[in-house]
Amino acid sequence: MNNTILPPGYNVFQSIGRTLKQIKDPIGTMEESMRIYNGTYTVNLGLKRLIATQNPGFIEHVLRVNQRNYFKSEMLTEHLGRFLGKGLLTSNGDYWLRQRRLIQPGFHIDRLKDLYLIMKRTIDEFLSKMQTGLNVDVYPLMHSLAFELVINTLFNVTIPGQVRKQLSTFITETQGFVMKDIRQPHKSWWFRLNGELKKNLIYAQEVRTIIKNMIDQRMAAGRQFNDLLDMLLDARYEDSGLGMQEEQIIDEILVLLIAGHETTANALSFTLYLLANHQHELERLRETTKNVGFHESIKNANILAAINESMRLYPPAWISDRVAVDDDVYDQFKIPKDTIIAVFYYGLHRDPRYWNNPLEFKPGRFLNAATEKDKIRAFYPFGSGPRLCIGNNFALAEMTLFLHSFIHMFDIWATGQTPQLKPLVTLRPDRVLLKIKSRE
């Protein structure tokens, strides 16, 4: 640590203007700071310190190379954990590793094949009722599709409408409350006093009971349903040969519901927005995929390129955080113990050092892997290292299946509206208004 320095930066209390701007416009303010400090900077928070970076080497160091020294910050794990319990997204250390080893095989690409038919059925049903017209807001539609996809692949059974509604309200309400609580820590006492915290904890308990009943029914059925619940029930720990306790299965189901829902809805909404605004890319995609069948569409390079390019410009996980467990060094920088690291994927994905014409929507850049090789390393839609998104192949399968069917069934056009970005836990648009018409 001797010859190393903290990255340059600013103090929140001395830079009140920038601090207020950061709360109002986190993305714009971070982009500006990244330009000033060349991709990595320190924010002195008084007792704590944060290092924000969009340097791919630094990111790899934190997420992969020296990942043992970096835990997910308590901010999200503890806040979300109060409602979701202790699952993959909300745990750290040995407990997380044991759960990850147990569940990872269930998300292997070969195991996912069982889920493709459920995904396809869900998508077909959704598209058969697709809303068309002049100013259709596709965001709530993609939200409900992503929910149907995750719920149907978790529980391949008919679920009553009322129960679906309770589960979907729980996801939306919990995320909204957690975000409010994180952004306004000074109001935590008020949320306790005005009953909001209690209300959300009661919701969580009700949802746990619903899921427990579904698990009990599954055990009683005594047959396989080839869904994610079967996978979780059948998974066995390497060391003991035993399966998870029922409470652990409920925790993991809640985590999958939250982690797999909004991210997918955001990615699909932005993809449709970008294609509607780039008719030549949309037409090229239709042309190159017109004879592609159901199974091939999942691996189709052109469809994947459009989705990847959309996640480059609008990464649903726009930022990730970690905390240094011990003192560390990266390059000339020292990273003292307890420093919060903010990995700014959004900034990296638009950094002209790694991308030609970064603000342009050009799916073709993902087809030219040889020349774009270095740049592909600057692309982290699913994170990196051992905590890489466990649902990455699942997400790509559902999104490619949807996009392939959608573009061949519908025409879409831009309406001149530009979505406002809402960088909360995930990066989502406020609304995406498109003109949609069935193709003859």
- Residues binding ligand HEM (CB under 6 A): 72, 88-89, 100, 150, 255-256, 259-260, 263-264, 267, 316-317, 320, 381-383, 387, 389-391, 394-395
CB of 97 to ligand HEM, least distance (A): 9
Our CB check for ligand HEM shows the closer of 218 and 387 to be 387
Q: Which is nearer to ligand HEM, 9 or 315 (CB)?
A: 315
Closest CA to 152 of 243, 256, 251: 256
Please identify, using beta-carbon distances, which residue of 150 and 305 lies nearer to ligand HEM: 150
For the CB of residue 133, give the shortest distance to ligand HEM in the complex, in Å. Answer: 26
Cβ(419)–Cβ(432) below 8 Å: yes
Cβ closest to ligand HEM, residue 7 vs residue 260: 260
Minimum CB separation from ligand HEM for residue 230, in Å?
15
Query: Minimum CB separation from ligand HEM for residue 355, in Å?
Result: 18
Write the single-letter amino acid at 115.
L
**Residue 123 to residue 118: CA distance in whole angstroms:** 9
Strands 9-11 and 40-44: parallel
Q: Using a CB cutoff of 8 Å and minimum separation of 24, what contacts does 410-415 make? A: 410/127, 410/130, 410/132, 410/436, 410/437, 410/438, 410/439, 411/436, 411/437, 411/438, 411/439, 412/272, 412/275, 412/276, 412/282, 412/436, 412/437, 413/276, 413/279, 414/273, 414/276, 414/277, 415/134, 415/135
Residue number, nearest CB to ligand HEM = 391
What is the Cα–Cα distance from 378 to 141, expressed in whole angstroms? 31
Minimum CB separation from ligand HEM for residue 126, in Å?
A: 16
Q: How far is the CB of 34 from ligand HEM (least distance, A)?
A: 19
Of the two residues 333 and 394, which places its CB atom closer to ligand HEM in the complex?
Answer: 394
